[in-house]
Amino acid sequence: MIKFCFQSSRNLHIRHLHQIDSYDNRVEEQLKASGFYYVSQIGRIVSHRPTVDALVERWRPKMHTFHLPYGECTITLEDVAMILGLRTDGLPVTGSTDHSTSGLENECLAQFGVAPVSKEIYVKCHIMCLFGTTLFSDKSGISVHWKYLPLLRDFSQIHKFSWGSACLAHMYRSLCRASRYDCKDMDGPLALLLVWAWIRMPTIGPLPVDTSFPLARR
């Protein structure tokens, strides 16, 4: 087994929302239908800043890989599928980057101006919380961009999107930003980053407590 010692001169301020509470069991079937059931099983993962700092120091933006003493490696779509239990194929996750409130108001009226099934409303809110805490967290630590709302409009279509690919792209983007010399904050899906590091370098990670899926739940 390869032993790896992390030593980092970085001191990034890691920002992300607290993990949300467990979902109501009455919406379990709706969560499974949406494709977010497994990622909802992941509890709170306490961030380990020295590990994050060391990984950021070894990240190479041009290659999107970590340069480690024993070679290059990176987080892949397969890792996302196994760690978070998200779909990594399907429709692309795209949307407007407009930050105006008018766009948000129009989308909310379109989705919630009528009375859809109450369980579907609950699951949509739960998914938006997952976006802000686990998958697409930003440096604000308190907000979720409304650009994801249009993708949740048709509940029967939510599971068709490649949420895992979008999460990985967000992880790459967060690592590239954090690797800049003048960057002081780190956001993004830190659960994915940490669990990936613990799996690939088990000498620095906690011991698994069970054999459940996804891997981040262990």
pLDDT at 47: 72
The CA angle 15-5-70, to the nearest 5 degrees, is 105
What pLDDT band is residue 144 in, cutting at 50, 70 and 90?
confident
pLDDT at 158: 97
What pLDDT band is residue 75 in, cutting at 50, 70 and 90?
very high
pLDDT at 43: 77
pTM: 0.84
pLDDT at 2: 33
Q: Is 142 exposed, middle or buried (0-12, 13-18, 19+ CB in 10 A)?
A: exposed
Better-scored residue on pLDDT, 7 or 40? 40
pLDDT at 66: 96
Residue 146 has pLDDT above 60, yes or no: yes
pLDDT at 115: 55
pLDDT at 16: 52
Residue 49 has pLDDT above 90, yes or no: no
pLDDT at 121: 85
Residue 144 sits at φ, ψ, to 5 deg, of -130, 130
Q: How does pLDDT run across 126-140, given as a tens digit for each residue?
A: 999 899 888 998 877
Q: Which residues contact 197 (CB under 8 A, 6 or more apart)?
A: 51, 55, 204, 205
Domain boundaries defined on the chain: 13-217
pLDDT at 1: 34
Q: Are 166 and 25 in contact (CB under 8 A)?
A: no
Residue 153 has pLDDT above 80, yes or no: yes
